[in-house]
Amino acid sequence: MKIIVFKWKPLLFSGAAAAILLSLFCFAATPKLISAFSSSNGRSLPIYSVQTEEKKIALGFNCAWDDADIPSLLSTLDACDVKATFFLLGEWACKYPDTAKLIALSGHEIGSHSNTHRDMDTLSSEEIRSEINDSRNNIYTACGQTPVLFRPPSGSYNDLVIDTIHQCGCIPIQWSIDTLDWQGLDTEQMVARVQQQLAPGAILLLHAGAQHTAQALPQLLQAIQDAGYTPVPVGELIYPDSSLVDHTGKQFPLENNK
């Protein structure tokens, strides 16, 4: 399997030069995994999932609408002894600071979902930095945590977005299982969708404030656990020090590159 490395820093070579260098490297050496600066189609990628033999998956809740169902979500997670990652919009944290603080005090991981929910791939480098830094500042003010994980709004990104996220000291996160709760799927539909796509290292996309998410969460967790999987926060699933991903955005541990 071909493995690539996130663009931690801006690429110094042209696309053609990078391709030539990579080809020479592949010809000269035969490591288990091949390191490069970008995927085969030239893109910088966030983490969509993780390579692991353990039956672990991660729950990631986007918080950009209201906070009405947060108490219910937290109650269910607590009853099932599950910790998750809540990706807070900076403006949301400003609007609901007590709720943001409650999430943090409940022991859940806090990530950023940008500051104003703009499509990041339409922004300049300066605007992207502002979205990242303003969100982190607002989230810290609200709950005392400075997020490292960053999930771009609407899953919208390009090379500049991913590179800038890394340059700001953050880790870009996507998902491999979209519950489609944002489309109004009911409990049965969401459970069936998740069951069909469960795999070790999967990252789920859920939303606080979606029509049926709070109602569906107990059954979702039950289905996940009945299948033998352990839900964990995103930060416990990923390899924070590894920049190895394949063309699908699956992250691998650094030792796989030895």
Instruction: Say if 213 falls within a structural domain.
Output: yes
pTM: 0.85
Instruction: Say if 105 falls within a structural domain.
Output: yes
Instruction: Say if 15 falls within a structural domain.
Output: no
Residue 136 token pair:
């982190």
Q: Give the position of tokens 């690429």.
A: 11
pLDDT by residue, tens only, the chain of 258 residues: 444 444 433 333 344 444 433 333 333 333 333 333 344 456 789 999 999 999 999 999 999 999 999 999 999 999 999 999 999 999 999 999 999 999 999 999 999 999 999 999 999 999 999 999 999 999 999 999 999 999 999 999 999 999 999 999 999 999 999 999 999 999 999 999 999 999 999 999 999 999 999 999 999 999 999 999 999 999 999 999 998 999 999 999 987 765
Give me the helices (H) in the chain, please: 15-28, 70-79, 90-95, 97-105, 125-143, 159-167, 187-197, 213-226, 234-237
Instruction: Say if 253 falls within a structural domain.
Output: no
* Domain at 130, CATH number: 3.20.20.370
Indicate the number of domains in the chain: 1
Instruction: Say if 217 falls within a structural domain.
Output: yes
Instruction: Say if 200 falls within a structural domain.
Output: yes
Q: What angle in degrees, to the nearest 10, is found between the helix axes of 159-167 and 125-143? A: 50
Instruction: Say if 72 falls within a structural domain.
Output: yes
By residue range, what is the domain housing residue 175?
A: 49-237
User: Cα–Cα distance between 98 and 217 in angstroms, integer?
Assistant: 22
